Amino acid sequence: MNTLNHTELEVVYEQAYRSGRLAWSSQMSKGEPGYLKALDNIVQSPDVASEVSLGLIDIPIDKIVGTYTHSRSISFAQNFMPLMPPHSEFASKWMSLYAHHIKEGITDPIKVYEYLNRFFVIEGNKRVSVLKFVQGTTIRGYVTRLVPKKDSEDKKTSIYYEFMNFYKYTGINTIWFSELGRFTELLTFIRQYGELIKDEDYQKAFLANVYRPFRQLYLEEGGQKLDMTTGDAFLTFIKIYGLPVEVTPEKDLQNIKKLMSELKVLEKEASNVKTDQIQSPKKRVLTSLTDLVVPKKILKVAFVYAKTTKESGWVYAHELGRLHISDSFKHQIVTTKIENVPENDSAYETLKQLAQENYDIIFTTSPTFVAPSLKAAMEYPSIKFFNCAATHSYKSLTLYYGRIHEPRYLLGMIAGAMTQTNTIGYVAPYPISEVVSSINAFTLGARAVNPRITVKAMWTYRWDNPEGGLHVAERLREEGADIISNEDLPIPGDSSKTYGVYKIDEKTQEKTHYAMAIWNWGVFYERVIQNILNGTWKSIYEESSNPEIPMNFWLGMNTGIVDLLYSNRQINHPMKLLIESVKKSIIRNEFTIFEGPLYDQYHQLRVKSGEILDYEDIVHMDWLIEGVDGQLPDLKDLKPTDPFSYMRGLIKH
């Protein structure tokens, strides 16, 4: 290769210098320091628990963000471009190093500190500057890790400790996440990749064949403009589309483009939420007349169930809704049900088959189906996909759920009045927000009639798991609970009464069933089908506050979708009057369940006096209220193979 002459090197340095001055000015205009970050300004000795030598490793250039001392930082802008003027001794050394790199490459390793997965240069600042200028990807370096003191209250530090465990097994330092639990999830996928390709160096192959090609395509599509890490987007991608042997433009570019449109919606942290009746907007006369004379297509509607109606009360409730619309619309629609669909990414094959059979509407009736539902909805945009979950909105997938915390507040009132031990057991399925808000509402209801009670919560760790619920209920009884609240629903022909709120006589073992929350899914399904048949479904979106953001349905007792059923024989007359009075107040929006002051388990004020939690606060609730004896499981400890692991990362916590 020809050696660059001095004039050519001066031109190169001038370009780097201008880039540095521009970056410096940009930072200063924002009121921020324009110089390179200095580690000694960021970390103090008391912050560091230990120093660990990682030896000589490959360091990602984009993760080198600063230098060791302030005295060295002033020679560079934030982007590592030089700030020393041309014709200076610094410029001469920089140009000499650039010429050496062009001719032979930079092979001498640098020395750096690593702190929170960012690298700060001890020796080799100019080498890094040159490589950043030529858009290099990695450089060899001797790394000393500064391990921060563990602080469970600090989210970034907690993520870093999870990263250190991930790095120990993979040696991968190029990926970062913004939420706890995701390094653990990715580690499971990487191990699966090793089993898939049968290669001892599967970690390197994973980076080379899967992550880096995804990163390149993702950034080319504008991923750097989103307020999330590339790792966050990548984990979402493999949850939806599965773990590939390799990522290629031919096979994956279109899927990445579809994913980008969904990530942009998620990033907005906003949604159109229908919290009342699904009204059909008034139609223009011309449209109404057209509907009368144009023959309408018979809608094909599919319902996807994780279990059968004989083994799952949850499925049975949705099946009643399916039978209701089949009877209500008769010759206008045909419906089918698919039972025992796996609660993992393989559910996509079922949805794909239904799409290829030209179904118009597909209801996936469990929150565990959110990932495969989203994948299918992006793949088949002409089909209306609905998923029964209470979290965030997607561009391609409509979510629907009920404000089940409303009847659970009333259940809590009944349990609080009936307990004699002041200890109530709560069988909780899985630590997602709709379950957390239900526990909290139940506890508030119980304490409203009996301030002395404690609600002891235990987890089955599975959605819709009657057998696990029985086991947990027995443990709760052993710990002193005389009243049990179980979120499971009754199964046809089941006389066990181990659902809703009940007690078991210690001597006779007879069960007394007091009340239960019920779902009337037929109410929702009927209104959706009616609006689609009338051609007014699109108008519902157009009348929303922001038609660019997709819509959720989060409907309460005012719509009849959720309700309370209690025993006339077991509940006395004064209690019935109280329950009916509070129920009417909730329906009329005269009484708000989550109104401050509200304190969590540790007596920390969560909701100030007079404040009321809104939709976003409730569906992202991740804390337990004062009066609950129990802990939210650490997501890091949950098995990544559980169905809900496919939700984590797809839906905002």
pLDDT at 495 over 70: no
Tell me the mean pLDDT in the region 502-516. Answer: 85
The proportion of the chain whose per-residue pLDDT surpasses 70, expressed as a percent, equals 87
Of all residues in the chain, what percent are helix, strand and coil, respectively (each to 5)?
45, 20, 35
- Structure confidence at residue 391 (pLDDT): 62
The two three-digit tokens of residue 302, written as one number: 């599919």
Instruction: State the alpha helices, DSSP H only, in 312-432.
Output: 313-329, 347-356, 370-379, 405-418
- The yes-or-no verdict on residue 562 having pLDDT over 90 is yes
User: Per-residue pLDDT tens for 394-425?
Assistant: 778 888 999 999 999 999 999 999 999 999 99
Positive or negative, the Cα torsion across 390, 391, 394, 396? negative
DSSP secondary structure of 403-436: -THHHHHHHHHHHHHH-SSSEEEEEE---SHHHH
Span 7-24, mean pLDDT?
Answer: 93
Residue 605 above 50 pLDDT?
yes
**Distance (Å, whole) CA 247 – CA 209:** 6
* pLDDT for residue 537: 54
- pLDDT category, 285, cuts 50, 70, 90? very low
Residue 61 to residue 132: CA distance in whole angstroms: 7
Query: pLDDT at position 371, please?
Result: 86
Q: What is the pTM assigned to this prediction?
A: 0.71
| Residue 320 scores a pLDDT above 70 | yes
**How many other C-beta atoms are found inside a 10 Å radius of the C-beta of residue 424?**
30
Interatomic CA distance for residues 406 and 628, integer angstroms: 18
pLDDT at res. 264: 74
CATH class, domain 405-519+562-567+587-646, is alpha beta
Which pLDDT value is given to residue 648? 45
- When mean pLDDT is compared across 19-28, 221-230, 388-397, 477-486, the lowest value belongs to 388-397
- Which H, E and C letters describe 35-69, residue by residue? ECEEHHHHCCHHHEEEEEEEEEEEEEHHHEEEECC
Distance in angstroms (rounded) separating the CA atoms of residues 234 and 221:
13
* Res. 492: pLDDT tops 90: no
Tell me, what's the pLDDT at 462?
A: 78
pLDDT for the residue 427: 92
> At residue 257, does pLDDT exceed 50?
yes
Report d(CA 333, CA 320) in Å as an integer: 16
Range 146-150 average pLDDT: 91
Of residues 17 and 240, more confidence is placed in 17
Cα(532)–Cα(280) distance, integer angstroms: 10
Mean pLDDT to the nearest integer, 587-612: 93
- Least reliable range by pLDDT among 198-212, 457-471, 484-498, 633-647: 633-647
Average pLDDT over residues 136-157: 90
Model confidence pLDDT, tens digit, residues 571-584:
999 999 999 999 99
| Cβ atoms of residues 571 and 413 within 8 Å | no
pLDDT at position 1 is 46
Kindly tell me if the per-residue pLDDT of 125 is higher than 50: yes
**Cβ 648 vs Cβ 185: under 8 Å:** yes
Q: Is the pLDDT of residue 548 over 70?
A: no
Among 347, 349, 435, 457, which residue's Cα sits nearest to residue 389? 435
Second CATH level (architecture) for the domain 1-149: Alpha-Beta Complex (3.90)
Is 379 within 8 Å of 365 (Cβ atoms)? no
Q: Which of 582, 244, 242, 231 is nearest to 408 (CA)?
A: 582
* pLDDT band at residue 181 using 50, 70 and 90 as cut-offs: confident
Q: Do domains 1-149 and 405-519+562-567+587-646 have the same CATH topology?
A: no
* 185 DSSP assignment: H
- Give the integer Cα–Cα distance in Å for 230 and 236: 10
Peptide bond into 597 cis (omega under 30): yes
Q: From the CA atom positions of the chain, what is the Rg in Å?
A: 29
pLDDT at 543: 44
Q: E-strand spans in 534-597?
A: 551-555, 562-566
Question: Which of the four pLDDT bands, split at 50, 70 and 90, describes residue 2?
Answer: low
Pair 466, 432: CB distance under 8 Å: no
SS3 193: helix
Contacts of 41 (CB under 8 A, 6+ apart): 70
- Mean pLDDT for 144-159 is 89
Q: What is the pLDDT of residue 20?
A: 92
* Banded pLDDT at 148 (limits 50, 70, 90): very high
* pLDDT-derived band at 265, boundaries 50, 70, 90: low
Closest by CA to 476, choosing from 497, 460, 462, is 460
Q: Of 382, 438, 436, which is closest to residue 415 (Cα–Cα)?
A: 438
Tell me what the mean pLDDT of segment 24-35 comes to. 88
Residue 268 has pLDDT above 70, yes or no: no
Q: Which CATH superfamily is domain 274-402+522-555 in?
A: Response regulator (3.40.50.2300)
Least Cα distance to 585 among 593, 596, 573 occurs for 593
Query: DSSP characters for 442-495?
Result: HHHHHHHH-TT-EEEEEE-SSSS-HHHHHHHHHHHHHTT-SEEEE---PPTT--
pLDDT per residue as tens digits for the range 54-69: 999 999 999 999 999 8
Q: Where are the domains of the chain?
A: 1-149, 152-267, 274-402+522-555, 405-519+562-567+587-646
Q: Per residue in 360-380, pLDDT tens?
A: 999 999 988 988 999 999 999
Name the more confident of 615 and 547: 615
CB 615, CB 593: distance < 8 Å:
no
Q: Does residue 286 carry a pLDDT above 60?
A: no
The secondary structure of 66-109, three-state, reads EECCHHHHCCEECCCCECCCCCCHHHHHHHHHHHHHHHHCCCCC
Least confident of 74-83, 381-390, 501-510: 501-510
Distance (Å, whole) CA 482 – CA 417: 12
Does 642 have pLDDT greater than 70? no
- The pLDDT of residue 650: 41
**pLDDT given at position 456:** 96
Query: What is the model's pLDDT at position 507?
Result: 78
How do strand 299-304 and strand 333-338 relate by DSSP bridges? parallel
Whether the predicted pLDDT of 302 surpasses 90 = yes
Given this model, what pLDDT does residue 646 score?
Answer: 44
pLDDT at 647 over 50: no
Residues listed for the chain: 653
Which residues, at least 6 apart from 132, have a Cβ–Cβ distance to it below 8 Å?
61, 64, 79, 80, 81
